[in-house]
Amino acid sequence: MYLFLDSYYESSAVFFKYSGRSMSLSLEDIEIFITFSESRNSLHASEVLGISQPTLTEKLRAIERKLPETPFAWRGHKRVLNSYGEHLVKEIKPALYALRRATKDVIDKEARRLIRISGRMEILMRVTRSAYLEGPLELDITTSHKALDRVLDGISDIAITYVKPTQKEIIRQKLFDAGTAFICHRDLLESDTLKLFTDVKDWSFTTDARWYLYREDDGFYKSFAKLVGLEAKNPEHGVIMENWLSIKELVLLHKGMAIIPLETLSRAESKDLAILAMPRDKSKSTFYAVYHREFVKSNRGKAMIERIVQAFQEKDNLARK
């Protein structure tokens, strides 16, 4: 008789050839057989394997049927290995231990691999606050369009973006709907009583004031212009900016205005900053977690996507309550 190991990852089985007959044991069979051989008795083996004694007995009988001869003998009421069983253990154990080491190396390597998530700064901050993400992580701050491009180019693992991919190999999962707000220096409203976007009846003051526009989202301004009846092209007095923090500071400093995501605002904003939330049904952007289909084939990748999606679902459910 001789033994050889066929591909672990294709067949997950050990094959025996004996007297012209081929028989196979699954990796589960091998783990059970070796664990039984290393245990003091059946009770101890079942505890190590996390199964009941009757289940262990059934599995040992199944292993016995797959082999050309029985590997067991009885010593009173106790099942033990005979010489053939001991020979099998001697042949199989090194291969099983090598497989365990290789599997551990693969798992450890995946756990140590750096995962990169791309997206806008305020969105990435929201992701890290909402979801507990394990392992080495890099946040790549960029625009939504570039975030998707980096996933397509294999530079990033995940993009948090409102841009919908069209490639079949790319998966997207909805995370949340982002609202937007009109902000300006309170002096421009000429009233301390205005609290809602719909309270403003005359938006003509916005045509000559200085607008601060985020480089990526000209769509924010166009949504605003459509709502208030202005021409939907970027204003003549527009300044293109790279981040929301600078926009808010310059709006206050130069008595300007901007359209920004609600996620970038906090309760600690200056009293001089007027914040008017735009109607959500007409100005929202839906954000997705976008990733390559291959990414979730690893346990860590799958777990990371599940945590991100779950975190935003829980937050959305709390907000509705």
- Give the CATH number, domain containing residue 25: 1.10.10.10
CB of 290 closer than 8 Å to CB of 158 = yes
The two three-digit tokens of residue 265, written as one number: 């605002």
Both 137 and 212 in a single domain?
Answer: no
Both 193 and 272 in a single domain?
Answer: yes
Both 158 and 293 in a single domain?
Answer: yes
For residue 203, the Cα-to-chain-centroid distance in whole angstroms is: 42
Highest mean pLDDT among 35-44, 171-180, 232-241, 288-297: 288-297
Both 8 and 108 in a single domain?
Answer: yes
DSSP 296: G
Nearest one of 75, 71, 73 to 90, comparing CA atoms = 71
Per the DSSP assignment, residues forming a β-bridge with 137 are 115
Both 50 and 184 in a single domain?
Answer: no
Both 134 and 92 in a single domain?
Answer: no
Cα–Cα dist 109/107, whole Å: 5
Number of domains present in the structure of the chain: 3
* Residue 20 amino acid letter: G
Name the pLDDT band for 1 (thresholds 50, 70, 90): very low
Cα–Cα dist 273/252, whole Å: 7
Residue at a domain's end among 72, 87, 112:
112
Cα–Cα dist 245/231, whole Å: 27
Per the DSSP assignment, residues forming a β-bridge with 259 are 182
Is the four-CA dihedral 135, 136, 139, 145 of positive or negative sign? Answer: negative
Pairing of strands 211-214, 72-75: unpaired
Both 67 and 192 in a single domain?
Answer: no
Both 267 and 234 in a single domain?
Answer: yes
Pairing of strands 285-292, 170-178: antiparallel
* 10 pLDDT higher than 60: no
Cα–Cα dist 132/310, whole Å: 10
Domain range for 90: 2-112
What pLDDT does 282 receive? 73
* 314 pLDDT higher than 70: no
CB of 67 closer than 8 Å to CB of 14 = no
Is the four-CA dihedral 194, 283, 145, 119 of positive or negative sign? Answer: positive
Cα–Cα dist 240/247, whole Å: 9
What pLDDT does 7 receive? 34
The CATH number for 195's domain is 3.40.190.10
Both 169 and 187 in a single domain?
Answer: no
Both 26 and 103 in a single domain?
Answer: yes
Lowest average pLDDT, out of 33-42, 157-166, 184-193, goes to 184-193
Please tell me which residue, 294 or 269, carries the higher pLDDT value.
Answer: 294
What pLDDT does 159 receive? 94
The two three-digit tokens of residue 310, written as one number: 């779950």
CB of 163 closer than 8 Å to CB of 149 = no
What pTM did the predictor assign?
0.57
What pLDDT does 195 receive? 75
Helix (H) or strand (E) holding 200: none
Name the pLDDT band for 172 (thresholds 50, 70, 90): very high
The two three-digit tokens of residue 320, written as one number: 């509705």
Both 95 and 71 in a single domain?
Answer: yes
Residue at a domain's end among 112, 136, 161:
112
Residue at a domain's end among 112, 128, 157:
112
Both 295 and 235 in a single domain?
Answer: no
Cα–Cα dist 238/126, whole Å: 28
